């Protein structure tokens, strides 16, 4: 009997995670799809996905998730796709340290804990793919995205180190770097801006108000839409390549801005690059 490949995908309530879970299911993968809210979990079940609860900020939920997967697979897992994350906007000087810490708990520390629990499984079976959904903002920084920038820069460094340390184990560490992707990400980020930043007392108040004004359209998928924006299927395509390639790349870029910024940070003088980032980050 042929082994049916298994993958754990986090952050499957909407957008990239949901699209990747459904797309790989169509390709014959056994999917473990996670979300936090019961309504999202039920939506995943309604689409015949194996829905499991995960809150990256809750150690016990990570422990329970890994235990459940091992019970259902008999102790194996072919691939992990860390995807669940959110963006906390705000100028660095306006970010309460507790808010920055919360960003890292969800976008970085939780990913690390889940990954380190999965690595022994892959070592024992002798193979595996650890795929991280990073961002163009793990390559370059934009103003007013300091918390998210920092979490993705940290993820890039940790993942690059892990790739070096796992060399020769047949466990591949891969990073996918999307640029603008159609999702509820911006809408959720605007809520975080209003919840956690003292807008009225900030010297950046005008910039915040402009961002809020651009993001108040009825359709959240069109709010603050980028001309280079692609649907989440673009990420699915790169994920499939990362999973199927005999020798996968360490990095897969998605969207034109990621390719441009990947080139620019290597070859442009810092002053030129900063000017471009300032113009595009307001």
148 is catalytic: yes
Phi/psi for 84 (5° steps) reads -65, 125
Three-state SS string across 52-117, please? EECCCCCHHHHHHHHHHHHHHHCCCCCEEEECCCCCCCECHHHCCHHHHHHHHHHHHHHHHHHHHH
Within 10 angstroms of residue 42's Cβ, the number of other Cβ atoms is 12
Instruction: Count how many residues are written for the chain.
Output: 282
The active-site residue, picked from 56, 86, 144, 148, is 148
Within 10 angstroms of residue 184's Cβ, the number of other Cβ atoms is 15
Q: What angle do CA 274, 223, 255 make, to 5 degrees?
A: 55
Strands (E), the chain: 6-9, 30-35, 50-53, 79-82, 128-133, 171-178, 251-254
Across the beta sheet with 251-254, what order do the strands follow? 50-53, 30-35, 6-9, 79-82, 128-133, 171-178, 251-254
* Burial (0-12, 13-18, 19+ Cβ within 10 Å), 247: exposed
Query: Under a CB-based contact definition with an 8 Å cutoff, are residues 200 and 276 in contact?
Result: no
- Dist CA 161 CA 172 (whole Å): 12
- Residue 154 is classified by DSSP as H
Active-site positions read: 148
């Amino acid at each position: 009997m042929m082994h049916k490949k298994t993958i754990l995908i986090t952050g499957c309530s909407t957008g990239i995670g949901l699209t990747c879970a459904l797309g790989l299911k169509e390709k014959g993968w056994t999917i473990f799809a996670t979300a936090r809210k019961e309504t999202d979990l039920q939506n995943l079940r309604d689409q015949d996905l194996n829905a499991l609860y995960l809150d990256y900020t809750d150690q016990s939920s990570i422990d329970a998730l890994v235990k459940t997967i091992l019970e259902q697979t008999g102790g194996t897992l072919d691939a992990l796709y860390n995807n669940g994350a959110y963006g906390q906007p705000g100028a660095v000087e306006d970010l309460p340290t507790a808010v920055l810490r919360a960003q890292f708990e969800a976008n970085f520390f939780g990913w690390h804990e889940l990954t380190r629990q999965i690595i022994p499984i892959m070592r024992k079976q002798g193979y595996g793919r650890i795929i991280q959904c990073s961002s163009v903002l793990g390559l370059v920084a934009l103003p007013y995205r300091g918390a998210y920038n920092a979490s993705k820069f940290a993820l890039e460094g940790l993942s690059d180190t892990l790739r070096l340390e796992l060399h020769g184990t047949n466990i591949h560490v891969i990073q996918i770097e999307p640029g603008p992707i159609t999702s509820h990400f911006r809408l959720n980020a605007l809520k975080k801006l209003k919840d956690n930043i003292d807008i009225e007392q900030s010297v950046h108040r005008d910039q915040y108000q402009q961002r809020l004004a651009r993001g108040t359209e009825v359709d959240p998928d069109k709010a603050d839409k980028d001309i280079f924006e692609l649907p989440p299927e673009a990420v699915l395509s790169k994920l499939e390549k990362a999973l199927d390639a005999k020798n996968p790349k360490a990095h897969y870029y998605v969207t034109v801005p990621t390719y441009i910024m990947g080139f620019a940070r290597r070859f442009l003088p810092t002053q030129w690059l900063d000017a471009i980032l300032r113009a595009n980050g307001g």
